[in-house]
């Protein structure tokens, strides 16, 4: 049934949080609509007087005059409302250890951590880096920062010492929070060692490293180090939160762009929280009193920020936080967790769904998944086959799937079905949600609506959770997002088209950003990691279509004269390990081809398009602009040899 679509059942529609009239309200009064969302989903210490100040575009100010404390919104207000006994977090550790954390518990833990950070000298405005596995302390540390108005910069636990060093330096973080190790598939993997290496030296801005005891692995100890339990556990469980301006910075999150240097995406407090909470309610159809929600993302990515920490906690949800992987100790681990906690809303990524498809439908079939009533997808386009499998085998053939398009930069969901309203079209993220406006432009920057024509996705109005800039680089912010089609349009970097029903289909990145298993990687960043290896003279990287991971990293390298005769297999293995060490194992190329030339235009630009043709096993496209067309023949011969 390739063309089948799926209307919401009347029962689902009747109880849904997100209703059709939201579209009309937002259409009629854009600012009034968002003001209402901000007042509904956020508790303000001081109400705002101006909904949107766009006079300094593209630098937006939302909810001007308003004051709030984000952590208070995520924790304290639920306790005050009498829900202190509600479970905030069902923590499921990688080793089978568990914790049940109520909102009252969370409040105490966040207050203690806020007091601890204060003792270390952290003040409003100071930056704190967080490099932790998926353990409760990660969430507690983020909220403690929010409570103090000290922007956090969470660094994904898979990143290397170099990646930590550059992020810590860029944000000038005074404190890093890490752990003595992390559990990975039954083994203990080091974590603190990367931090040690990253903060070593006089020039590091880091004064203190707070170390959570997680694995009892032996760690080296330095003057900067302090154990989390020794510092935090003795603190008072009370802490008076200060109100912050709506535009007070909440966090910086680094993400790949088209150049080698990651961008520090800046998000602020009021607008971010309002849209994270609002979208979590209407898109995931969250009923905080009855649902058990589970977002499988790591807090190192934006999905973990908006839909594991800020959105669900602002809404007072009960959620599962899982430290481990889907396939350890067995491939039914996720479904075992769904059954155990009666998870009703599951939000995950297409790459995970494809992996489960490969393992087979008989695995989820062994568990009782009948609690599931909403499924979500994020990070990359979900192919219709995976969509149908997800609905059939995880969603009991009836759960609506929300395919949510958004970005680190947008802070929250922008394009998605509403599960109680939208007739679902597998593979398409469909329509902008109420309050959001998108268009598709052609090469000339003209909007069009013709079906099946491919163009560029743009956003045409500011939105509350939009990035407020790139940390320390206003020029790059304007140039990257607000110049491609003029200052009226936010350029998302994604290709898109409409279908005949007006649904939007996202078609992947149009810039030099790759999407591997939902992780954003820049070709330039991996190229510079390769070139930093002593044997490499030149490198070109492309993202090639891949059945499992969406895209896979393919690298083409020219070796230096003296290395060219070395054992090629070993060189390739060394280079893969080198990239993993320089950036992260997720950036490791799937394939590295040693070549003698790279295809270049007369102006010296590498024609990645042709390399992509090779990697995807296609006929090579137009190569007439190459300086030397025979280069591609050599590369193709090399391919058939391998």
Q: Pick out the residues of the known binding site for Mg(2+).
A: 531, 533, 536
Q: Binding site for CoA: which residues?
A: 184-187, 303, 517
Give the integer Cα–Cα distance in Å for 117 and 144. Answer: 8
Q: Binding site for ATP: which residues?
A: 379-381, 403-408, 494, 509, 520
Give least dist CB 495 to ligand WTA, A.
Answer: 9
Q: Are strands 87-92 and 98-102 parallel, antiparallel or unpaired?
A: antiparallel
- In sequence order, the β-bridge partners of residue 554 are 542, 591
Query: Contact between 520 and ligand WTA (CB under 6 A)?
Result: yes
- Ramachandran class of 522: left when φ > 0, alpha when ψ lies in -120 to 50, beta otherwise: beta
Task: Answer for the pair 260, 530: CB distance below 8 angstroms, yes or no.
Answer: no
- Ramachandran class of 597: left when φ > 0, alpha when ψ lies in -120 to 50, beta otherwise: beta
Give the integer Cα–Cα distance in Å for 62 and 69. Answer: 15
Report the candidate in 22, 8, 20 with the shortest Cα–Cα distance to residue 419: 8
Q: Please, what is the angle between helix 21-28 and helix 30-41, to 10°?
A: 120
Query: Contact between 304 and ligand WTA (CB under 6 A)?
Result: no
Per-residue contact track with ligand WTA, 545 to 574, x per CB under 6 A? ------------------------------
Query: Contact between 608 and ligand WTA (CB under 6 A)?
Result: no
Question: Which positions ≥6 away from 181 have C-beta within 8 Å?
Answer: 188, 189, 190, 191, 192, 214, 215, 216, 217, 219
Report the candidate in 532, 457, 44 with the shortest Cα–Cα distance to residue 260: 532
Query: Contact between 512 and ligand WTA (CB under 6 A)?
Result: no
Closer of 285 and 403 to ligand WTA (Cβ): 403
Task: Answer for the pair 555, 541: CB distance below 8 angstroms, yes or no.
Answer: yes
Closer of 167 and 600 to ligand WTA (Cβ): 167
Query: Contact between 262 and ligand WTA (CB under 6 A)?
Result: no
Closer of 103 and 456 to ligand WTA (Cβ): 456
CA of residue 26 relative to chain centroid, distance = 27
Closer of 271 and 417 to ligand WTA (Cβ): 417
The two three-digit tokens of residue 478, written as one number: 């304007």
Per-residue contact track with ligand WTA, 612 to 641, x per CB under 6 A? ------------------------------
Per-residue contact track with ligand WTA, 68 to 97, x per CB under 6 A? ------------------------------
Closer of 67 and 515 to ligand WTA (Cβ): 515
- Residues 408-447 binding ligand WTA (CB under 6 A) are 408, 429
First to last CA, the chain: 39
Q: What is the DSSP string of 163-221?
A: HHHHHHHHHT-SEEEEES-EEETTEEE--HHHHHHHH-STT----EEEEE-SS------
Q: For the chain, how many helices (H) and strands (E)?
A: 22, 30
Give least dist CB 596 to ligand WTA, A.
Answer: 34
Outline where 172-305 has alpha helix (H).
192-199, 228-232, 270-283, 302-304
Query: Contact between 406 and ligand WTA (CB under 6 A)?
Result: yes
Query: Contact between 390 and ligand WTA (CB under 6 A)?
Result: no
Query: Contact between 348 and ligand WTA (CB under 6 A)?
Result: no
Binding part of the chain for ligand WTA, among 15-23, 37-45, 243-251, 402-410 by CB under 6 A, reads 402-410
Give least dist CB 390 to ligand WTA, A.
Answer: 13
Closer of 281 and 509 to ligand WTA (Cβ): 509
The correct pick among 219, 506, 529, 611 for binding ligand WTA (CB under 6 A) is: 506
Query: Contact between 465 and ligand WTA (CB under 6 A)?
Result: no
Query: Contact between 303 and ligand WTA (CB under 6 A)?
Result: yes
Q: Are strands 67-68 and 244-245 parallel, antiparallel or unpaired?
A: antiparallel
The correct pick among 51, 153, 235, 255 for binding ligand WTA (CB under 6 A) is: 255
Give least dist CB 494 to ligand WTA, A.
Answer: 5
Give the integer Cα–Cα distance in Å for 642 and 638. Answer: 6
Residues that bind ligand WTA (CB under 6 A): 255, 301-303, 378-381, 403-408, 429, 492-494, 506, 509, 515, 520
């Amino acid at each position: 049934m390739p063309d089948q679509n799926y209307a919401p059942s009347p029962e689902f529609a009747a109880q849904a949080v997100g209703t059709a009239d939201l579209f009309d309200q937002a259409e009629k009064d854009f600012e009034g609509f968002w003001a209402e969302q901000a007042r509904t989903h956020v508790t303000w210490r001081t109400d705002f007087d101006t909904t949107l100040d766009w006079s300094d575009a593209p630098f937006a100010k939302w909810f001007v005059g308003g004051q709030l404390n984000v952590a208070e919104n995520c924790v304290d207000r639920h306790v005050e409302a009498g829900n202190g006994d509600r479970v905030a977090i069902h923590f499921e550790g990688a080793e089978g250890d568990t914790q049940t954390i109520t909102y009252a518990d969370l409040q105490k833990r966040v207050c203690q951590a806020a007091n601890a950070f204060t003792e270390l000298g952290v003040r409003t405005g100071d930056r704190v880096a967080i490099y932790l596995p998926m353990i409760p302390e990660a969430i507690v540390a983020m909220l403690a920062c929010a409570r103090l108005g000290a922007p956090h910069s969470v660094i994904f636990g898979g990143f290397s010492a170099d990646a930590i060093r550059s992020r810590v330096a860029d944000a000038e973080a005074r404190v890093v929070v890490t752990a003595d190790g992390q559990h990975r598939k039954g083994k203990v993997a080091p974590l603190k060692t990367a931090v040690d290496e990253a903060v070593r030296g006089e020039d590091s801005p880091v004064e203190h490293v707070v170390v959570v005891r997680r694995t009892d692995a032996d760690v080296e100890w330095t003057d900067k180090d302090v154990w989390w339990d020794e510092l935090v556990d003795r603190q008072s469980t009370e802490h008076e939160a200060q109100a912050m301006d709506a535009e007070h910075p909440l966090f910086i999150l680094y993400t790949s762009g088209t150049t080698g240097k990651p961008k520090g995406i800046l998000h602020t407090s009021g607008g971010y929280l309002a849209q994270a909470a609002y979208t979590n309610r209407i898109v995931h159809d969250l009923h905080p009193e009855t649902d058990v929600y589970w977002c499988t993302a790591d807090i190192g990515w934006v999905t973990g920020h908006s839909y594991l920490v800020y959105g669900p906690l602002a809404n007072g949800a009960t959620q599962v936080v899982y430290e481990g992987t889907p396939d350890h100790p067995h491939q039914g681990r996720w479904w075992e967790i769904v059954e155990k906690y009666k998870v009703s809303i599951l939000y995950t990524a297409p790459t995970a769904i494809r992996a489960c498809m490969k393992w087979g439908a008989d695995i989820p079939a062994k568990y009782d998944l009948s609690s599931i009533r909403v499924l979500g997808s994020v990070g990359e386009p979900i192919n219709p086959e995976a969509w149908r499998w997800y609905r059939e085998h995880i969603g009991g053939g009836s759960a609506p799937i929300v395919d949510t398009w958004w970005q680190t930069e947008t802070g929250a969901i922008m394009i998605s079905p509403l599960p109680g309203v939208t007739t679902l079209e597998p593979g398409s993220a469909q329509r902008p949600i109420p309050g959001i406006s998108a268009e598709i432009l052609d090469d000339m920057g003209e909007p069009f609506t013709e079906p099946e024509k491919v163009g560029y996705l743009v956003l045409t109005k500011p939105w509350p959770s939009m990035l407020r800039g790139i940390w320390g680089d206003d020029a790059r912010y304007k140039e990257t997002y607000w110049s491609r089609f003029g200052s009226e349009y936010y350029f998302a970097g994604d290709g898109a088209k409409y279908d005949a029903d007006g649904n939007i289909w996202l078609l992947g990145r149009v810039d030099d950003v790759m999407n591997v298993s939902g992780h954003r990687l820049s070709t330039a960043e991996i190229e510079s990691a390769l070139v930093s290896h002593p044997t490499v003279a030149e490198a070109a990287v492309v993202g090639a279509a891949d059945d499992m991971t969406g895209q896979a990293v393919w690298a083409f390298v020219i070796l230096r004269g003296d290395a060219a005769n070395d054992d090629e297999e070993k060189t390739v293995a060394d280079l893969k390990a080198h990239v993993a060490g320089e950036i992260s194992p997720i950036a490791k190329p799937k394939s590295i081809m040693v070549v003698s030339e790279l295809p270049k235009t007369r102006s010296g630009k590498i024609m990645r398009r042709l390399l992509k043709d090779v990697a995807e096993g296609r006929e090579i496209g137009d190569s007439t602009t190459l300086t030397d067309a025979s280069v591609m023949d050599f590369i193709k011969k090399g391919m058939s040899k391998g």
